[in-house]
Structure 1
Amino acid sequence: MSENSPQIRFLQDLLQAKEHEVQAFQQVIAKRVRTMKEIKDQQDDVQRLTEVVEAEIQAKRNDVSLLEARLLETDRLLEDRQSWTLYQREYQARHQYYREFAEKVGAEDAGELRTLLQRKDRPLLISPETLPACRERVQELLRIGAAQGYLCIDCVSRGPEEQFRIEEIAPHVHRINEEARLLPLLRKRPVTVLSTWVLQKAWYDVLSDVTVWYDLCADPSILFGPDPEMSLEHRERLRTAKIVSYAGLEHRALTYFRKEDSQQLPAGGV
């Protein structure tokens, strides 16, 4: 068969056409590969950008958390600063109220309370209103005092709608719900005060003949809080109190320099 025969030319043209198709297909594939690489590069850029943005967001969150912590600390410091003057403000307000009340002798005092305080057969042991954490302890010590010959009075708070009342809760142990009513009747009478809280001083400072029995029965965070003035007043009570006692060994550390002559009065009596 001659090289220039129609069959040979046809096959040559067909082969050349196929070669063109393959080249075109290769160009399409190469273009798609470049496009996919560009897309992959863009995805990598987006991923890197996302990581950078997330890191910046986390940094902002950390800044916000740090700022919130600083604000909370500032609030706490402000509360502490306000509490530094709590004792003096509270003492002055209470003492003024008690002093003014002590100068009054109302008709209501001519009843059962006056009759009770006119008894001379027993010395008086009185607990002014105290903290809730000390309530059970006070009741126990007053019962012990009654057994030792005292006429005991336990003072509790009075509700806004509650009437004044006095009741005998144990032999020779009475409870009243308004401690100020005692003051006009006690100003010149010897009284032993069972003190479990330094702010009770505002009440018994009105009286002229007071023997202080200071009992430690709660944690310092309850008795003093963060107020250094209350802590100093606690030390003053230790120095001047006639009797110092404590509930348990965990409270003995609160007696400081009175440890040698303080007494442990555990639950259940002595």
Structure 2
Amino acid sequence: MADSTVLDVDAYARALDEARTARRPIAPLTDARPDLSVANAYAIAERLVALRCQTQNARVVGHKVGLTSIAVQRQLGVDQPDFGVLLDVMQLDDGGVVSARDYIAPRVEPEIAFHLGSSLAGPGVTVEAVRAATAAVQPAIELVDSRVADWRIRLADTVADQASAAGFVLGGRRVGLDEVDVTAIDVELRRDGEAMQRGTTAEVLGDPCAAVAWLANTLADIGRTLRPGDIVLSGACTPMVDAAPGVTFSARFGDLGEVRLVIAR
């Protein structure tokens, strides 16, 4: 864990949380602190999660892996994955309606969600270990939102901001890995029924299981493990799309079916 004496971790965490609740973005943290390290950014994110658990009575239900596809890395100008924490208050109903006014600059992206049946403790977690630990996978849409103005984020900014996590929807069929080749699922993201983006699950580090392995091994650096029952969003299969008001988004994952999210006007 980063040394919290390097900067005021609490102050940055509070600023990001206030930006979320007031829906008023803040300047990139790296503008004021260009030396902000990724390790210190994760310390800020950890404090941010603690704040939400305290103020919202929220509960950790898993993690999200971000920046796993070249397309999304290019969109945001970064070159490596990151992770954030999923809270129960972030989960949205399949086909549910959310208001764009509850967010700052929301975007959506289709992902494969993993449901873990056993723990994964790094270092040294392999793709094979992830497959053995996975109880099921299913389609998901992640709703991301940057509390940093205009998505002007460097890697440390998005790490501190909980990897831009905002919400997630699970839908479609929930199946075991013996029923599907998780490396070769065609994915289509639609807006009001019209295809916006197409991709495959291979966009996620070549194999979404590799993203889960990366997460388990990275968590080991801060003394944490993935637990049975955890949900892991493995990363975007297509570039992100702006979540415009008055739009219905759906993501089709081949034979695994479809997951939907409605953005109200």
TM over 0.5: no
Structure with the bigger percentage of strand: 2
TM-score by length of 2: 0.25
Structure with the bigger percentage of helix: 1
TM-score by length of 1: 0.25
- Larger relative contact order (Cα-Cα within 8 Å, sequence gap ≥ 6): 2
